[in-house]
Chains A and B, each alone.
Chain A
Amino acid sequence: MSIALIAAISAAFTWQPGKITVYLAGDSTMSNKAVSARPETGWGMPFNAFFDTTVRVDNKARNGRSTKSFIAEGIWKSITDSLHTGDYVLIQFGHNDEVPTKTTYTPKADYQANLERMIKETRDKGANPVLITPVARRSFDSSGNEKDTHEEYAAIVRQVASAQQVPLIDLDKESMALIQKFGPDDSKLLFNYIKPGENPNYPNGQSDNTHFSELGARKMAEIVLKDIKTLNLELASRIVVSHLGIK
């Protein structure tokens, strides 16, 4: 009796949330980059630094992939094969789905079906899908207004999230607001803008309005984290607690 009580009490005090994996499924705006591509940075890279030791972030995002090619190449299956109850799958596609000239082109109906499939297969494993609208490109009109570069495909993500009752992070909209706040000039610092001769990996320089610098990638990851808190996902309870700077 007393042993059982002691066991129960000590279990209560030593109980910790189980370890989980957060899988990131998406494209080059999210993926890990080779050293030879730096300073280009996917927002999944700094995202990794947000959580406590109960969370493993497995960034499966891959350059150039649409929902169609991500599934066709078996990358999606590598996620569902290893999913456990309580895991998360953060899903952000669109950049390569929405371009008709790319081989990865995924018509809207297929894009919707692929997202629905990802949601279902995540839930079948007792894991938690989170939908993310495609992060904005830097694209200003002549009056200095940031344009919506994913209008149709972001709308599909919102519709699917609503219909399937999946938590939605509207990164398209929120990153557009951030890019607008930085403005046409300063926003270049968020993206992989390199002057000729500045960086050994880009001897000719680079003016990339899609892929992020380290700074832009972190700012995008911070938006996603803020929304994880606002949505009050269980994952929010696993954000690292730091005392740096607290006196």
Chain B
Amino acid sequence: MKKYRFGLLAATGLLALLAFSLPSHKTKVYMIGDSTMCLYGARQFPITGWGMPFADYFDQTVTIDDRAKGGRSTRTFLEENRWRPIADSLQPGDYVIIQFGHNDEAKEPQFAARYTPVPDYKTNLIKFITESRQKNAIPILVTPVSRRNFDKDGNAKETHVEYTQAVFDVGKQYQVPVIDLDAKSRALYQQLGPDRSKLLFMELDSAEHPNYPVGRHDNTHFNEYGARLMAEIVLNEIKAQHLALADKIVHKQTAAH
């Protein structure tokens, strides 16, 4: 009896120890990028970054922390000290999903403050990768989601040629998984065609939505529907490439028939 009681005590103590030493840290998935990925408030609805619906599809062991910010290139994201706090708080096993390009590639004079030439873009991506890895966190590269741009024959055009290639170059050189959202999103626009694909974007008639009293015609930013379709592409690529993060995507049993 005494022996049994000791055993029980020891077991309880062991359990308590175990409970305290178990990692309390949920896996954090940081998302860094631009306006196509970022969070938006209710006063901007229905504009939606794909990071918003993306967060709906993970189990309880994951926290999605979308730090993407509209208008940012890799360079301005770094200059504004948006990366350092993330790098500092990274824990082993966390993820960093990286999608830039829209603002890096903007060569027009009015965007000079954000423009980042390809070599610098690569250097900045490499910085995100190496500093994630220094913390034993896992970087994932995403090519910049395509803009909606059809030629007169109804073919969806490539809108990020050089910068998407740069993502692939860096991914290959540093053996980082690359999700080709650029190609996959463009394939979806092509499949939908020039008219239907507008339904994914911020295409609003005037007076349709009080948040946009003069309407909006936008081939870059998604509405809530397009953002979800983009999130689905990324989720399905995470599965297709058998990334460890795939285990944390909600898994529903297929209904029995």
Contact = CB atoms under 8 A, between A and B. Distances in A.
Interface of A: 35-36, 38-39, 46, 48-50, 186, 189, 197-204, 213-215, 218, 222, 225, 239-246
Contact of A245 (B45, B53, B212, B232): B212
B225 A242 contact: no
Nearest to B229: A198
B225 A197 contact: no
Contacts of A203: 252-254
A201 B252 contact: yes
Interface stretch (B29-37, B64-72, B174-182, B213-221): B213-221
Interface residues of B, number: 33
A200 B212 contact: no
12 contacts: A35-B56, A38-B56, A49-B43, A189-B225, A199-B232, A200-B250, A214-B228, A222-B208, A242-B43, A244-B43, A244-B211, A245-B213
Summarize A's interface: helix, strand, loop or mixed: loop
Contacts of A215: 199, 223-225
User: Top 4 closest A-B pairs, CB basis?
Assistant: A215-B225, A214-B224, A49-B45, A203-B254
Contacts of B224: 46, 214-215, 218
A243 B56 CA distance: 30
Contacts, number: 83
A232 to B, nearest CB: 15
Contact of A197 (B209, B236, B250): B236
Contacts of A214: 223-225, 228
A213 B225 CA distance: 7
B250 A242 contact: no
